[in-house]
Every structure is written in C-alpha cells, then in structure tokens.
Amino acid sequence: MGKTQKSRRELIEKMQRDQARSDKRRTWTIVAVSIIVGLGIIAFPAIKLIQDSRTRNMAITDIGAKAGSAGCDAIIDDKASGLLDHKPDGTKITYSVSPPSSGPHYQNWAPFGKTFYALSDRPAIENLVHNLEHGYTILWYNEAIANDKDKVGEIERIAKAKSPDSARGKFIAAPFKSTDGAAWPAGKNIAFSHWSAGEANVAKGHRQFCAEPSGDALKQFMDKYPATDAQEPNGG
C-alpha cells in the first residue's frame, strides 16, 4: 500500500472517530437537557404544592398592605335585588352597580371549592353573583392588577390563605374586566362585594374599593358581613 493511500485511510478513520465522538457528545447533551427539562416539569408542581401548603397556614392579615395603607374607601351600601331570579345561562345581565353586589344571576354558581380565578379561567359574572347569594364575599381585581404579576400573586395567596371564621370558607378572588361594568373610582384597583339579608329582611349589597390588595382590609369587611348574613346562607 502506498503512502498516499495509507494517509488517506488514516485521515478517513480519524474523521470517523471525530464524528463518533461528536455524535456521542450530542447524544449526551440531548439526554442531559431532557433530564433537566423533565426534572423541571416534575419540580414545578411540587414547588407549587409546597408553597400552597405554606400559604394555607397563613392568616390573610399577613398578606398585602395593612388596612390603613391600602387606600380603601368607605363601604357603600346598595339596594339589593334579584333573590332567586335565575336567568338562562348565556343571558347578558346588566348590573346597576360595578362590581355587582346582588342581582339576577345564572342557575349555576362558580365551583365552591375554587377560591382564585385568573383572566384565563374566570367564570361569567352572572355565575359569581349566584355565589354572592349564598354568602360569599368576592374580591374583584381590575385589569391594572391583572397585568401585575406580583399583585396577582398577593391576591392568589390571600385567596388560598386561612380566611377568618366569619367567612366560613366562602370567598372567591376574581378579575373584573373593563367590559364587565361601569368604571371604578380613579385609582381603585380592588373591590370587595357581599350580598346580605340585611336588617328587618331588607336585603342590601355592600361594596368597598381599595387601591392595593389587603388581606387585613378584607378580613375587616368579611367580619362585618359574615357568610351567615346572606340571602341563602346554607347553600354551598
């Protein structure tokens, strides 16, 4: 065999070895990335479960601004209406106040076990008003808050934390879009609403607007208007 042929063969063998090493490195890189991605997929739900578990043991008063610094207005009392006034699902209902604190609503309510909604999964306003009829307090947050990841995180923690005994677990936090009703007072991004039976069977709705998420202010509102003070307190 001539030197030229030998050199050519050695060159080909070297190229083959280099290619094999390159293929091996590529394979291990793919395997490593797959493992990392897989661990991330597994770890994220686990971390979320741990965080939610810790949140459930927190009092809502420890989350968000204190009531005195949350920019909350005085509570508004509304004339209530719509008791047992069930409309077919899909019917557009225009409420007299924004966000609603009473009124006609759909036959079905939002699931009782879910306490927090984002823009992507919120049920119809008309479903949520049915929850008000059963003694729920709803924390509504506007689009300015919905686009603030940190503020939404605070609200979600409030929704998943330990609510006061007065609430009996009847609480939901949900977004309120600009197309859902009339504009809120300037600078107010949070609203609480509750539908109470009132005194002497004169039903009332109650609303309070705040600038910032405040578990402390929310507790004060729910203590003032407990779940038992409702049109149908035994529902849910």
Confidence of residue 214 (pLDDT cuts 50, 70, 90): very high
Q: 196-223 in b/e burial notation, b at 16+ Cβ within 10 A?
A: bbbeeeebbbbbbbbbbbbbbbbbbbbe
Query: In this predicted structure, what is the pLDDT of residue 140?
Result: 98
* Maximum distance among all Cα pairs of the chain, rounded to whole angstroms: 113
Looking at the predicted structure, is the pLDDT value of residue 72 above 80?
A: yes
89 to each of 29, 106, 110, 126, how far by Cα in Å?
Answer: 53, 6, 12, 8
Q: Which strand (E) or helix (H) includes residue 37?
A: helix 3-56
Tokens of 127: 């479903």
Instruction: Say how far apart CA 160 and CA 77 lie, in whole Å.
Output: 27
What type of residue sits at position 155? I
SS3 169: coil
Query: In this predicted structure, what is the pLDDT of residue 42?
Result: 63
109-129 pLDDT, tens digit each: 999 889 999 999 999 999 999
Closest CA to 194 of 213, 163, 171: 171
Instruction: Kindly report which listed range (1-15, 81-95, 102-116) carries the lowest average pLDDT score.
Output: 1-15
Query: In this predicted structure, what is the pLDDT of residue 231?
Result: 85
Query: In this predicted structure, what is the pLDDT of residue 73?
Result: 98
Confidence of residue 49 (pLDDT cuts 50, 70, 90): very low
Instruction: Say how far apart CA 205 and CA 81 lie, in whole Å.
Output: 9
Query: In this predicted structure, what is the pLDDT of residue 6?
Result: 62
Q: What is the mean predicted confidence (pLDDT) over 37-45?
A: 59
Q: How many CB atoms lie within 10 A of CB 52?
A: 13
pLDDT above 90: percentage of residues in the chain: 70
Instruction: Specify which residues 174 forms β-bridges with.
Output: 140
